[in-house]
Amino acid sequence: MSEYGLVIDGKKVPTEKWLEVKNPATGEVVGECPVATKAQLDEAVTAAARAFRSWSRVPDEERVQAVQHIAGVIEANAGELATLLTREQGKPLKGMGSEFELGGCIAWTSATAALQLPVKVLDDSPRTRVELHRKPVGVVGSITPWNWPLMIAIWHVIPAIRSGNTVVIKPSPYTPLSTLRLVELISEVLPAGVINAVAGKDELGQAMTEHPDIQKIVFTGSCATGRKVMGSAAATLKRLTLELGGNDAGIVLPDVDPAAVAESIVGGAFINNGQTCAALKRLYVHDSIYDEMCDALAAVATRIPMGDGMDEGNLQGPIQNKMQYDKICSMVEEALEMGGKALCGGAPSGGTGYFYPLTIIRDVSEGCRLVDEEQFGPALPVIRYFDIDDAIERANRCENGLGGSIWSRDLAKAAELAGRLECGTAWVNIHGDIRPDVPFGGVKQSGFGVEFAQEGLEEYTSVQIVNIARGEGL
């Protein structure tokens, strides 16, 4: 079994305490997660603060080259990282699984390397030149979840490094090993202290959000934890980027051919076994095609093989942890008790591992948890509607606002309706299409700030105005 350590100031650091990390498909121990002490967190922050003094002054082209080098290192080690990711997270190697996630890591890193932060000239008159400069903020604290641990680590870390900041990252205790290994590899091509990794339970994350020498926190996770992050960061007035939960609604208009869109809808709902913030989590279907749509969705879902992710024939894996598994079980059970009908799935698979079959539940509506709350797992409620204005109102009634989608042959009408959805991203005839060149973020209780593209890079900077008087006689 490989040994994993913290990464502090360019060195692999052991700890006195460890947590077992288990494969959710088999229950086997994958490795031991080092548990950082508060003193070790302080060491990591100190190293990052020290490195910031020089890294923030490195010529921009050198930082571009460093990020490009990181992309090459990830690509060279993608096989090792993908296997480790599958073993600790459960997602399959193939399909939209671990190899796909590593491909995304490479693509996002390469795209971020190409972004620039040019000086913006606000006034260039004979008397005055006024420039707007984007400057790095300092030490960035990154707290990542267990569903896409490597991809989201890259989303946090790479723009921070690219813009001249330094980083301390804390992965989820459910999936820490692949992130620790990734940071170990990245640290080999960067100056000591530019990137550091600590690991541990939730209290370590709180210590990061309270730490006086961390200037910004980037957090991806649940709304409840996001509120705690915001509260504990308030005393030091940290900058925050919060990408929180979503309960994304899709609305299918009556002009849609159910057989033509069923595969895309199932893909949008069950990517990563539904354990994705921007997955489609509620589907509103017009009464005139409701029965046909339900049958088409079930037909697609039942064809998708599920099992141990190390078997390359499987395209879905287990739910990652028991807490989430129990939540799915209880939410589906309640929906069925309230009159919902399972067209496929609807009960635990049994046997070893946290496997729950892809589940389509019809004849449910608002008032049950499977509709009102984010399930974050492989169960999709299909809700009947009669009037499009009512469907839009019901979709917007949710406190979340991450993503949403409209499905229709009439693209102009669909785009108009998409604009009425209260969410950060509204898709038409697709759901969950996230790209490195397009900003992504939520509204309402789904957080604030954006990631990706130019706007996402600017989140890691502060604005400095340089105002130059050109008067004579000075």
Amino acid at 443: V
pLDDT of residue 471: 76
CB–CB of 451/163 below 8 Å? no
pLDDT of residue 2: 77
CA distance 270 to 192: 40
Q: How many CB atoms lie within 10 A of CB 465?
A: 10
Q: Which SS3 state, helix, strand or coil, does residue 362 take?
A: strand
Q: Which of 449, 454, 448, 404 is nearest to 429 (CA)?
A: 404
pLDDT of residue 382: 98
Question: Could you write out the DSSP letters of every residue in 179-215?
Answer: HHHHHHHHHTTS-TTSEEE---SHHHHHHHHH-TT--
Structure token digits, residue 65:
């080259």
pLDDT of residue 67: 98
Q: Domains plus CATH for the chain?
A: 6-244+446-465 (3.40.605.10), 248-428 (3.40.309.10)
* Total count of residues recorded for the chain: 474
What are phi and psi for residue 349, nearest 5 degrees?
-75, -25
pLDDT of residue 209: 98
Q: In the block, which residue shows the tokens 């994705």?
A: 276
CA distance 160 to 151: 14
pLDDT in 10s for each residue of the chain, 474 residues: 678 999 999 999 999 999 999 999 999 999 999 999 999 999 999 999 999 999 999 999 999 999 999 999 999 999 999 999 999 999 999 999 999 999 999 999 999 999 999 999 999 999 999 999 999 999 999 999 999 999 999 999 999 999 999 999 999 999 999 999 999 999 999 999 999 999 999 999 999 999 999 999 999 999 999 999 999 999 999 999 999 999 999 999 999 999 999 999 999 999 999 999 999 999 999 999 999 999 999 999 999 999 999 999 999 999 999 999 999 999 999 999 999 999 999 999 888 999 999 999 999 999 999 999 999 999 999 999 999 999 999 999 999 999 999 999 999 999 999 999 999 999 999 999 999 999 999 999 999 999 999 999 999 999 999 999 997 655
pLDDT of residue 56: 98
CA distance 274 to 246: 12
pTM for the predicted model, two decimal places: 0.97
CB–CB of 232/210 below 8 Å? yes
pLDDT of residue 1: 63
pLDDT of residue 392: 98
Q: What is the dihedral of CA 94, 96, 102, 105, to 10 degrees?
A: 170
pLDDT of residue 109: 98
Residue numbers annotated as active site: 243, 277
H or E segment to which residue 448 belongs: strand 447-448
The helix, strand and coil proportions of the chain, stated in percent and rounded to the nearest 5, come to 40, 25, 35
pLDDT of residue 473: 53
